[in-house]
Chains A and B, each alone.
Chain A
Amino acid sequence: MLRYVLRRLGQIVITLFVFLTLVYFLLEAQPGDYAQTFLSNPKLTKEQREALKAQFGLDRPLWERYLRYMGSLLKGNLGISFEHYPRSVVSVIAERAPRTILLFLTAQILSFLLGFSAGKVLAWRRGQAFEYVLTIGGVTLYTVFTPWFGLMMIWIFAYILHLFPVGKFVTPTLWRGAPVDANYVFIRILLSAFVASLALFLVLLATRRLNLALRRGLRGAGVLIILAGLLAYWLPSGITRYALDILYHLILPVMTLTLINFAGMMLLTRNSMLETMREDFVMAARAKGLPDGVIRDKHVARNAMLPVITSFIFSIAFVLDGGVITETVFSWPGMGLTLLEAAVAQDIPMVMGGLVFTGTLALLGHLVADMTYAYLDPRIRYT
């Protein structure tokens, strides 16, 4: 298992290296760059210009710049952003990435839960009216033009109904004089969610082989303790109102993304369920006298979930695809928006940094998908 992970990590590093080299030379081959615009400022003297060029390292030949870039990349240094000068690319990513991760992870998990539950029910109770409503509704949303749908959601829920803010990720007036910055709160939210899910998973795992009554009791108690732990952390922290402000801003984009994405999961789950329902062990489960819900969830859905989980984790890895559009529509200053701005401004170090981040995320996502799959399906071994 450990050897498998290490080997996969090695592969990931190599893949990443090839990917970055390609991207580096592709970007170099683009006509014009930020430095050009910057350096053609007529107010600068020739000497100043040369000095600046040297400062950015733009006077060196291409191969030397490439080697230098890769060298500092190894040290975790992605250079200085032109656009956000003098901030380093790493600090910009550290600031923007948590926002993107919170938004898309929440939306993806909700899409998965909604799509999976809906797909399960669709397969189990076929031929009823809601099957058509859900399928047609879901597919319509799935194929709708994302920016248009996002704007419609803003128009209806923010502009007409005034239920949610129009855009942005915080209420500036509230945060004036806040003891911490938004990033601090974002990271705390992400960490709490991670710790809580991990704890919940461990509780389920630890109570798996206990008597029915004890199992149910301990699981209930576990959930209560986790909730109490979350409250105990957040209530006295003094930043709960800021966290709530962020969550409030999160609702509309998350709702939009979930509505757009859940149908994919739903249809995938439905098909996988229908296929699994034909298996012999499902008939055996019925013969065992198990209740309908147990057969559906524990036997059919548990097996049907395997391909759905894979597709789900892949989709997480590629959030930045849709991220650019969604973040633009909701003026959500995350990685997608940053990447877009950097590309428009020809801020090469920032674009490179964004791609390093996306590439790493995608490859790690792939690894997590493989490991999850192997965990969920005992027939798969780490090889």
Chain B
Amino acid sequence: MAESILKIENFTMHYMTKAGEVSAVDNVSLEIRKGESLGLVGESGCGKTSLAISIMKLLPENAVIKGGHIYFDGTDLVPLSEDEMRRFRWRRISMIFQAAMNSLNPVYRVSDQIIEAMETHFGNIDYSEAREKVANLFRLVGLDPKFMDQYPHEYSGGMRQRAVIAMALACEPDLIIADEPTTALDVIVQDNILRELKALQEKLGTTMIYISHDIAVIAEVSHRIGIMYAGKLVELADAEEIFHHPIHPYTAGLMSAFPSIIGPKRELVTIPGEPPDLLNPPSGCRFHPRCQYATEICREKEPEFKDYGSGHMASCWNPLEG
């Protein structure tokens, strides 16, 4: 088994708001091995982005880390200062944002924005060499290098997305976090880009975290899948395993809410209700108000996140199988 590159231990992060504390990430533990691709799935508002930006420590001012550790390649990032973090950002961990379309500064040429990242981390690089590198990155992500000196507004949505991916690869990071990288694009472009991302990841051996609310999309590109609900990691297993033997009713619900590419055709059923307001998350298991299997204990006590065999982890009082 390859060594682990990222190890999150009991990580908890809250947002302070006028209305109270939002428990956006609650006691999450997770380990990712080098070269692995992990999918993070959950409905909107379940804390996926919050967890992602916690790893890069790109938190807004009102965010408070309540506890836990994030070990990246052996270093705990949680206590690091902003200046110390800068050496990790982009050089070691880069990110493709949810709003990837707007991640490029409108007033600079795309090539210059990519070179800026390389210059920041590699220092005094030769300009023409850097340009050559940008051209290679462009080819890598399926863009014609002749577009590299254009401005972002001259690109189509799909091109911008590819440029952002090229930028994320610029400093050859060990880990790339892709937060809903294709949500804003149309379905066909989405599909192409995802497939290319996966090919790139396999070719370069980069570790990836894919984030999406669509479990079908994630299943295509990830080795392992983590399911987030209301700030908690509720299930974590190999992609195959989670598809064929989901333990948490929420996972099963997510799967029936999206057309499956792997499984047989079946009727789509969405989970009734919405994720809870994280200002006052439900007691016990946070999913219990929406769970058709909920019993007394689900309301009262939080289930433990435990191993159901061969690394299939879940937290549920009434597991579907097992």
Contact = CB atoms under 8 A, between A and B. Distances in A.
A291 B83 CA distance: 8
Interface residues of A, number: 26
Interface stretch (A49-57, A188-196, A280-288): A280-288
A287 B89 contact: yes
B105 A303 contact: yes
Given A209-B112, A378-B151, 6 more contacts: A209-B127, A280-B97, A287-B97, A289-B86, A289-B88, A378-B153
B9 interface: no
A294 B121 CA distance: 14
B127 A290 contact: no
18 contacts: A213-B124, A281-B104, A283-B103, A287-B56, A287-B58, A287-B90, A287-B97, A288-B89, A289-B85, A289-B89, A289-B120, A290-B86, A291-B86, A302-B105, A302-B107, A378-B153, A379-B106, A379-B153
Contact of A292 (B82, B90, B123): B82
B95 A287 contact: yes
A279 interface: yes
A283 B153 contact: no
B127 A211 contact: yes
B125 A281 contact: no
Nearest to A379: B153
Interface in B100-120: 102-107, 112, 116-117, 119-120
A376 B90 CA distance: 28
A10 B233 CA distance: 67
B125 A284 contact: no
A297 to B, nearest CB: 12
A299 B105 contact: yes
B184 to A, nearest CB: 11
A129 interface: no
B124 A378 contact: no
Interface in B103-153: 103-107, 112, 116-117, 119-121, 123-127, 151, 153
B125 A289 contact: no
A74 interface: no
A42 to B, nearest CB: 70
Contacts of A285: 105
Nearest to A377: B107
A212 interface: yes
B106 A280 contact: no
Interface in A285-322: 285-292, 294, 299, 302-303
Contacts of B127: 209-211
Contacts of A213: 124
Nearest to B87: A289
Contacts of A379: 106, 151, 153
Contacts of B82: 292
Interface of B: 56, 58, 82, 85-91, 94-95, 97, 99, 102-107, 112, 116-117, 119-121, 123-127, 151, 153, 167
A292 B56 CA distance: 15
Contacts of A291: 86, 120
The 5 closest A-B pairs by CB, nearest first: A289-B89, A280-B102, A284-B103, A280-B99, A378-B151
A303 B106 contact: yes
Contacts of A286: 58, 89
A176 B167 CA distance: 66
B108 to A, nearest CB: 8
A379 B106 CA distance: 7
A279 B102 CA distance: 8
Interface in A262-290: 279-281, 283-290
Contacts of B102: 279-281
Given A210-B127, A280-B97, A376 B120 contact: no
A181 B188 CA distance: 74
A211 B124 contact: yes
Contacts of A290: 86, 116, 120
B120 A288 contact: yes
A105 B97 CA distance: 44
Query: Which of B105, B117, B123 has the largest count of A CB atoms less than 10 A from its CB?
Result: B105
B104 A212 contact: no
Contacts of B58: 283, 286-287
Nearest to A286: B58
Interface in A345-380: 376-379
Interface in A157-216: 209-213
Contacts of A212: 119, 123-125
A289 B120 CA distance: 7
Given A212-B119, A212-B123, A378-B153, A288 B90 contact: yes
Contacts of A378: 106-107, 151, 153
A102 to B, nearest CB: 32
Contacts of B103: 280-281, 283-284
Contacts of B88: 289
A18 to B, nearest CB: 36
A281 B151 CA distance: 14
A289 B87 CA distance: 7
Contact of A211 (B56, B120, B125): B125
Contacts of B126: 211
A139 B121 CA distance: 42
A290 B97 CA distance: 16
A283 B124 contact: no
A290 B117 CA distance: 8
A376 B106 CA distance: 11
Contacts of A289: 85-91, 117, 120-121
A276 B119 CA distance: 24
A299 B105 CA distance: 7
B94 A287 contact: yes
**B56, B82, B103, B123 pick with most chain A CB within 10 angstroms:** B103
Interface centre among B88, B106, B112, B119 (most CB of A within 10 A): B106
